[in-house]
Amino acid sequence: MDLLSLLFLLLAAALVWYWIDSLGDLELARKAGKKTCLEAEVQFLDDTVAGMSLQLVRNEYGRRVFRRTYRFEFSETGNSRIEGRVVVLGHKVEQVTMDPYLMMQQHEPLDHH
């Protein structure tokens, strides 16, 4: 095997590893966004998240890991789309944030006596 073939094989292996690694974090972010919306009693729209940014940073142990930021959309009324974000650091959810939204109040039925 010549050097060029070996480099191509190593590059292909790195790309496959990165793709599989990304899929795991994508699913983790989707579940975190969905759970946060459920707890906030809002609709998690489209049942998906989308990648926004990728950084190579050091974790609390000094190891280099990927910090991936994903965005999702939610709605409090079904008529609006509001953005939320999930940050995954080294296969752990670091932070979930949601843009401000109007919380709809439940009105008690009027008692007409």
What pLDDT, in 10s, does the model give residues 5-29?
999 999 999 999 999 989 999 999 9
Question: Which pLDDT score, from 0 to 100, does residue 78 have?
Answer: 81
Would residue 51 count as lying in a domain? yes
The sign of the dihedral angle between the CA atoms of 68, 93, 22, 62 is positive
Q: Does some domain include residue 17?
A: yes
Tally the domains of the chain: 1
Residue 67 lies in a domain: yes
Classify residue 21: in a domain, yes or no.
Answer: yes
Residue 87 lies in a domain: yes
Q: What is the CA radius of gyration of the chain?
A: 20
Is 112 part of a structural domain of the chain? no
107 part of a folded domain? no
Count of Cβ atoms closer than 10 Å to residue 93 Cβ: 17
Residue range 76-112, pLDDT digits in tens: 988 889 999 999 999 999 999 999 887 665 555 555 5
pLDDT, residue 1, reads: 72
* Greatest C-alpha distance within the chain: 91
The answer to whether position 43 is within a domain reads yes
pLDDT, tens only, 25-49: 999 999 999 999 999 999 999 999 9
Structural domain boundaries, residue 59? 3-98
